[in-house]
Chains A and B, each alone.
Chain A
Amino acid sequence: MHQLNALNDFVVRFANVNGTGSASANTMFAKAIFRMGIPVSPKNIFPSNIQGLPTWYEVRISEKGYLGRREGIDIMVSVNPQSMPKDIASVRPNGYFIYDSTKELHKEFIRDDIHYLGVPMMQMCMDKFADPRQRQLLKNMVYVGALAALIDIEIPVLQEIITLQFKNKEKLIEANFQALEMGATYVREHFKCPLGLRLERRDKVDDWIMIDGNTACGLGAIYAGATVAAWYPITPSTSLVQAFEKYAKKLRVDPATGHNKFAVIQAEDELAAIGVVIGAAWNGARSFTATSGPGVSLMSEFLGLAYFAEIPTVLVDVQRGGPSTGMPTRTQQSDILSAAYASHGDTKQVLIFPSTPAECFDHMAEAFDLAERLQTPVLVMTDLDLGMNDNMSPPLKWDDSRVFDRGKVLDEVQLEQLDKFGRYLDVDNDGICYRTIPGTHPTKGSFFTRGTSRDEYAAYTEDGAAYVRNVDRLLHKWETAKTYVPAPEFYQDEKQSAIGIIFFGTTTYAALEAVDILKEQGVVLDAMRVKAFPFNDEVREFVDAHDRVFIIEQNRDAQFRSLIINELDLRPSKIASVLNYDGFPITAETICNQIMESLIGKLSPAFVVHEAAPPSQSDVEE
């Protein structure tokens, strides 16, 4: 049998049982590779369950720095009998299947086109460790040790991570070291190490970090000066406010009194969560919530109020598979339309689309500035892939000279000098009016905030003309917003093709890889990453400059395509779609295939090659 050969370029998947402590071992594996200077992209594929169901951890290693998901498993580490048949089937021909050989593998599990590497993980742990719970945990470390020998992970790097993780717990460190060594020694004695798939130290990760998007968003809120967070637990956004709270407890406690410079409310539901945010923002505190699709649906009525009553509101939507409960632990970009037009009546909401943890951090800070500048809700649209997975990212950056843009808020002195305050007077002709915070001035600046129609002085009115003046001004403000929201990013200096691709958020990783692959096949594409809605002029110019435009997104109904056609009044036939919505992060292969199929009527040749067996130097013995 042939074997796969690749240096710093393959995919390892771990098949585990949920709740067995595998996450920590798997993370160590990915982190060790990262610390060897090799770009790595781990993804958790987990069930909606606490204990017992299958869970997977997939790590793509790519010297070229491609961080998108890749189809095909090169090495499968199987420690879950329940999912074994499926796991065996998912290994690429000539790939490796590493399993716990404490019990013999059933005959029907034997494929003749993959390599089986049995390691008696449980048996070794039974022989070595007394505590049953510890055996379970250390079994995970045994396979990490085995992998270290098989693909050349530097053992000292793993030891360093273990030492850090179990700081001051000498016994645990020692046990983990032993388990690691046991795994490595066993495979060295029984198989030819390393395999054709192996690692070699590089210097390709620069000063980057590995962090999940939710943590980065939570930190962004800390740095942006958010003081009130209200939320209701929902996967995959839960860890976002938890991260905010964790860092707030470290960084926002007055050392003199022990009192908190923040308040977190775990609300009774999403309606209350957004209500708290709106109340706090109305009263001059920076506040935010984080949720996912079902939460956005529940918050929609309030989002209409915030739009109409013009209250700065920051919401992070960590998208997951819908509709309804859908696939709560899988990723999608399927809230685009429900977020963009959230609420009844004529509403449009500002959206921002970060694609890396560093951008999550930056965009959070920007969202607070934008919300207060524009006096409207701003929805930061991430997804499960970005929010919950450790993503390689440039380091988070903050410039101490940066000031918070609190927007048009009148202080006591300004109010004192004012003859008559009109909350909804468009003084600057940009659609954005001046607001006041309760308690500012004893006799001036008070007004009545309402979701009903009002005149320029905030007085209730059912006069049609006053209503139209108001909603038209909101549209004027929407136009102004285009000059404030983040501009798109381009990946070519000047136009080089008649075909353009547009993408946003986590699709970026796979899209950029696809551009490279297609270029090798002679298909040159211009690429634009959209970072915000409303679409600014550069977005329109890009579309206008190309004959055909593909929009790559992760939902069934091509929601972003609908949005852009609607908002820019585009000819639909000019805009094609590349779609992925099975709950797994999109791959370059999907993008290449769909584009090539659309352009030339057949699949991209790049991926046909993948299925053929590459030449090998030697076979591996079992």
Chain B
Amino acid sequence: MTFVRPVFRHPDLPKNKLGYTRKYYEGALSTLCAGCGHDSVSGAIIQACFEMAIEPHKVAKLSGIGCSSKTPAYFLSNSHGFNSVHGRMPSVATGANLANRDLMYIGVSGDGDSASIGIGQFVHAIRRNLNVTYIIMNNGCYGLTKGQDSATADVGSINKSGSANMYQAIDMAGLALELGASFVARSFSGDKEQMIPLIKAAMSHPGFSLIDIVSPCVTFNNNKGSTKSYDYTREHIEATAAVDFVPFMPEITTQYAEGDSISVPLHDGSLVHLNKLAHDWDPLDRHSAMNRLYEAKSTGEILTGLIFIDVEAPELHGILKTVEKPLNRLNKDELCPGEQVLKTINAGFR
């Protein structure tokens, strides 16, 4: 880890359309190990938010417990953050989102947090299509408790102490697809080019957006024989398509397909371009996405990129038919039926 970060910034640093430099989107200094994949993910979140010119106070970042869940402290220090209970971020994010539908929610979790202790909450947040960008920093091991295998570790993957994992791995992207998630992507912390547009697209997507990011643990799971190491991931990575995110531009409104590329318009008017599409795969078709994912699995590839997107599925507020005005801004007059109504209610109980 680094102990000091220079405060000096070049005066001509580029500013986004809100007039903020990238620095404004940074957070506290990371206390994770040097080279930790998670720091690269934090960096990608910072870059994505900077480039999209998001107002930081309109973002809430939530996490559970673990190395990954510490990272919300390391990005967007001008946003409110909530480091909650192990495996329980999805429920806290659900409550937060219900209280104010106008904010953007970034949920950060790890493979221990989401695939083991919190898998129930992960599953149910997807069922409800909670509007959250859900990032799993997936390293196949428990870092803070020193390297135990997690539920996403592949069968036979060898950990630092030399023992092979005996149990089946849970594929979080596959699980999310199965559960009806409306946005499923996978990436690699070593691939910023891909992570940044994916994060932007996820934040623009109204609904549950999963990005399962292979993010190697340099201290406990970067050894030879591990299937979540930097080297292994680089050697086995296979992208679904090159992803590009185009922010809202009024003149581009139609969806089109040009041979090997596709553009998916999101609700806010922005577009996700997918170039060099993998053969026989349609990211708008769940069935096709599942096939592609299982195919990759059987050939030992780590499929990355946007795997599936459903732009029509209503998010939680749509399902619950809540009012446009955030619930946390409704005042007493809008909420309390008053004395006279209560008299009528009383009369019904006599």
Q: A residues touching B (Cβ–Cβ < 8 Å)?
A: 34-35, 207-211, 219, 222-225, 227-228, 230, 247, 251-252, 254, 257-265, 267-269, 271-285, 287, 301-302, 305, 395-400, 403-404, 436-443, 446-452, 459-460
Contacts and interface: CB of A to CB of B under 8 A. Distances in A.
A275 B124 CA distance: 13
Given A222-B336, A252-B337, A277-B95, 19 more contacts: A207-B346, A210-B350, A211-B349, A223-B342, A227-B330, A247-B345, A251-B341, A260-B320, A262-B327, A268-B121, A276-B91, A280-B99, A284-B328, A285-B99, A395-B346, A396-B345, A398-B336, A438-B79, A452-B83
Contacts of A269: 120
B91 A267 contact: yes
A403 B336 CA distance: 10
B56 to A, nearest CB: 7
A259 B93 CA distance: 22
A449 B323 contact: no
B321 A228 contact: no
Contacts of A439: 57-58, 60, 80, 100, 102-103
Interface stretch (B70-78, B185-193, B258-266, B273-281): B70-78
Contacts of B98: 227-228, 263, 265, 276, 279-280, 285, 287
Given A230-B95, A438-B57, A451 B85 contact: yes
Nearest to B69: A450
Contacts of B100: 283-285, 438-439
A398 B95 contact: no
Interface in B323-350: 323-324, 327-328, 330, 332, 334-339, 341-343, 345-346, 349-350
B168 interface: no
9 contacts: A35-B350, A225-B336, A261-B322, A263-B320, A272-B88, A279-B95, A446-B78, A446-B81, A449-B80
A261 B335 contact: yes
B57 A287 contact: no
Contacts of A280: 95-96, 98-99, 327-328
Contacts of B95: 228, 230, 275-283, 285, 287
Nearest to B350: A209
A264 B321 CA distance: 11
A252 B320 CA distance: 13
B327 A261 contact: yes
Contacts of A228: 95, 98-99, 327
B94 interface: yes
A35 B56 CA distance: 61
A207 B95 CA distance: 39
B252 to A, nearest CB: 30
B82 A279 contact: yes
Contact of B81 (A268, A276, A449): A449
A353 to B, nearest CB: 22
A282 B85 CA distance: 14
Contacts of B244: none
A441 to B, nearest CB: 6
Nearest to A403: B332
Contacts of B335: 222, 225, 227, 252, 261
A252 B335 CA distance: 7
Contacts of B342: 219, 223, 396-398
Interface string B33-68: 000000000000000000000011110101000000
A175 B337 CA distance: 38
Contacts of A400: 338-339
Given A258-B321, A263-B320, A439-B58, A278 B327 contact: no
Interface in B147-188: none
A-B pairs, top 5 by smallest CB distance, nearest first, are A279-B95, A275-B91, A285-B99, A280-B95, A283-B99
Contacts of B246: none
B92 interface: yes
Q: Number of contact residues on B: which range applies? A: 35 or more
A283 B332 contact: no
Interface in B19-43: 28
Nearest to B325: A261
B288 interface: no
A225 B328 contact: no
A443 B57 contact: yes
A446 B123 CA distance: 30
A396 B94 contact: no
A230 B55 CA distance: 30
Which of B28, B83, B345 has its CB near the most chain A CB atoms (within 10 A)?
B345
Which of B121, B322, B327, B350 has its CB near the most chain A CB atoms (within 10 A)?
B327
Contacts of B321: 258-260
B116 interface: no
A535 B103 CA distance: 40
Contacts of B85: 275, 301-302, 305, 451
B121 to A, nearest CB: 6
A441 B56 CA distance: 10
Which of B85, B100, B341 has its CB near the most chain A CB atoms (within 10 A)?
B85
Nearest to A208: B350
B337 A222 contact: yes
Contacts of B343: 395
Given A268-B121, A395-B346, A446-B77, A279 B57 contact: no
A305 B332 CA distance: 28
A283 B84 contact: no
A233 B132 CA distance: 26
Contacts of B128: 265
Contacts of A34: 350
B284 to A, nearest CB: 29
A267 B323 contact: no
B345 A284 contact: no
A279 B96 contact: yes
Contact of A261 (B77, B83, B91, B334): B334
Nearest to A304: B85
Contacts of B58: 439
Contacts of A437: 328
A449 B83 contact: yes
Nearest to A436: B80
Contact of B78 (A230, A252, A443): A443
A437 B342 CA distance: 31
A497 to B, nearest CB: 37
B120 A259 contact: no
Contact of B57 (A254, A440, A459): A440
Contacts of B79: 438, 446
Contacts of A247: 345
Contact of A272 (B73, B91, B337): B91
B171 to A, nearest CB: 21
